[in-house]
Chains A and B, each alone.
Chain A
Amino acid sequence: GAGVSQSPSNKVTEKGKDVELRCDPISGHTALYWYRQSLGQGLEFLIYFQGNSAPDKSGLPSDRFSAERTGGSVSTLTIQRTQQEDSAVYLCASTLLGFQETQYFGPGTRLLVL
């Protein structure tokens, strides 16, 4: 079946602009995760959605970052007033139930802030 998809695959924006990144998890997966990967670095956890529970936002680096998940499926990560240090690959993953399971990752969105 279809895997996790993300859009856009690449995004170039100017400093100070807002951007929205989209993630479509695997159908039926209740848990969704966002990570960030800066050049040459490991993955940095950002936020976790599990069903109807309040999301775990403990990894969001600042209040310029927010995410929502509508209808328990598609998620949007929004970065307001982008800064150059926000340039990274933003990865989304999903699992059927939660953290204890295999995470299936999307291809990522490469964000470049000029």
Chain B
Amino acid sequence: DAKTTQPTSMDCAEGRAANLPCNHSTISGNEYVYWYRQIHSQGPQYIIHGLKNNETNEMASLIITEDRKSSTLILPHATLRDTAVYYCIVSGYGNKLVFGAGTILRVKS
């Protein structure tokens, strides 16, 4: 069972920041927050993950609230190629990933 809640879909203007929220109010202390995305007709692609500190890599930033009950994935300058389904997943170290329905992000020119 997915432990996260995400909006079904979001729109973002090209070049603007895309902020994708995720609620995980039942997260436990040893569980990580992972983000993957799936572009149409492709396998999922890892984006970023974190435990409690904010994380940044070449693709995105992950902001986790202090109580860890929610997080936001930020794509700083969205492009048309970022249109995809974004999955927020909560999982303990060494445990399997459970993918929910995700958020459909549509980047529009």
Contact = CB atoms under 8 A, between A and B. Distances in A.
A106 B94 contact: no
B2 A42 contact: yes
B91 interface: yes
Contacts, number: 49
B95 interface: yes
B97 interface: yes
Interface string A1-26: 00010000000000000000000000
B36 to A, nearest CB: 8
A104 B101 contact: no
Interface stretch (A60-68, A77-85, A91-99): A91-99
Contact of A105 (B45, B91, B94): B45
A105 B44 contact: yes
Interface of chain B: mostly helix, strand, loop or mixed: loop
Most buried by A among B44, B94, B97: B44
Interface in B60-109: 87, 91, 93-102
Interface residues of A, number: 23
A70 interface: no
Contacts of B46: 102-104
A99 B43 contact: no
Given A59-B96, A100-B93, A102-B49, 6 more contacts: A42-B99, A42-B102, A56-B96, A93-B44, A105-B45, A107-B42
25 contacts: A42-B87, A42-B99, A42-B101, A43-B44, A43-B99, A44-B99, A45-B96, A45-B97, A45-B98, A48-B96, A56-B96, A91-B43, A91-B44, A93-B43, A98-B94, A99-B91, A99-B93, A99-B94, A99-B97, A100-B93, A103-B46, A105-B44, A105-B45, A106-B43, A108-B43
Interface of B: 2, 32, 36, 42-46, 49, 87, 91, 93-102
